Amino acid sequence: DGGITQSPKYLFRKEGQNVTLSCEQNLNHDAMYWYRQDPGQGLRLIYYSQIVNDFQKGDIAEGYSVSREKKESFPLTVTSAQKNPTAFYLCASSDRGASNYGYTFGSGTRLTVV
Amino acid sequence: AQSVAQPEDQVNVAEGNPLTVKCTYSVSGNPYLFWYVQYPNRGLQFLLKYITGDNLVKGSYGFEAEFNKSQTSFHLKKPSALVSDSALYFCAVRGAGGGNKLTFGTGTQLKVEL
């Protein structure tokens, strides 16, 4: 079955530590997205990529970094510069050429600072 | 800029009663509108979309939504609610000229009680 896989499902980070969240899709989608979800704030866009080797900052990119070396993969690194990283992180993808389609979402990674 | 408003943080309804979850939008040009549902600790699942055509759109699990251009609304409805419909619902919009980025509302928590 085609879909998006996020791993791990739960992740614990110590203060000052960088962690990387994985997102892999086998849908042959061009575009991929990272969102952060906090209670009562909906989804906030961190980074997105419309094509391999290119990505743009979203609304809350500070303290995060991404790469897009392969079409299938869009990992997100939460750096020590992100002062409040505890949240639920969602990865999504879409077919860039078909704007009448929505996103397909992964099942999310819950990151907790310990 | 495109935006979505979901004016109710929570909607409570008795099982068997009709439900409505409200959504209004602002976008340049013709809108592409979407509803997603999220269960706890899961990613978002696609429910339905409006692209063009009939203003009443039918989707998964008996849900439907009515597009009203004059009121810039896209309310989600179901004739008879089930306890299993209890979840977090997100409305999203994309403008015809806005690339592939969706803008999401802040979400409405639906609680269906016996």
The answer to whether B64 and B49 have CB atoms below 8 angstroms apart is no
Return the residue of A nearest to B99 by Cα.
A99
Q: Do B101 and A40 touch (CB under 8 A)?
A: no
- Other Cβ atoms less than 10 A from the Cβ of A49: the count is 21
Instruction: Give me the phi and psi of A39, to 5 degrees please.
Output: -55, 130
Tokens found for residue A1:
């079955």
Predicted confidence (pLDDT) at residue A20 exceeds the cutoff of 80? yes
What pLDDT is attached to residue A95? 83
User: Of all residues in chain B, what percent carry a pLDDT higher than 70?
Assistant: 96
The one-letter amino acid code at B39 reads Y
Distance from CA of A65 to the nearest CA of B (A): 19
Cβ distance B109 to B8 under 8 Å? Answer: no
Q: Distance between CA atoms of B111 and B88, rounded to whole angstroms? A: 9
Burial of A109 (0-12, 13-18, 19+ CB in 10 A): buried
Q: Please, which pLDDT band fits residue A1 given cuts at 50, 70 and 90?
A: low
**CB of B88 within 8 Å of any CB in chain A?**
no
Q: Looking at the predicted structure, is the pLDDT value of residue B98 above 60? A: no
A109-113 and A10-13 strand pairing: parallel
pLDDT tier at B29, thresholds 50, 70, 90: confident
**HEC per residue, chain A:** CCCEEEECCEEEECCCCCEEEEEEECCCCCEEEEEEECCCCCEEEEEEEEECCEEEECCCCCCEEECCCECCECCEEECCCCCCCCEEEEEEEECCCCCCCCCEECCCEEEEEC
Q: How distant is the Cα of B31 from the closest Cα of chain A, in angstroms?
A: 10
Q: Tell me: pLDDT of B97 over 90.
A: no
- pLDDT computed for residue A42 by the predictor: 85
How many beta-carbon contacts under 8 Å exist across A and B? 54
pLDDT value, residue B96: 66
3-class DSSP assignment, residue A65: strand
B41: how many CB neighbours lie within 10 A of its CB?
11
Q: Band of the pLDDT at B84, cuts 50, 70, 90?
A: very high
pLDDT of A100 reads 61
The whole-number average pLDDT for the span A94-103 is 71
Number of neighbours of residue B34 by Cβ within 10 angstroms: 28
- Section B24-35 average pLDDT: 92
pLDDT of residue A97: 60
Of A82 and B24, more confident: B24
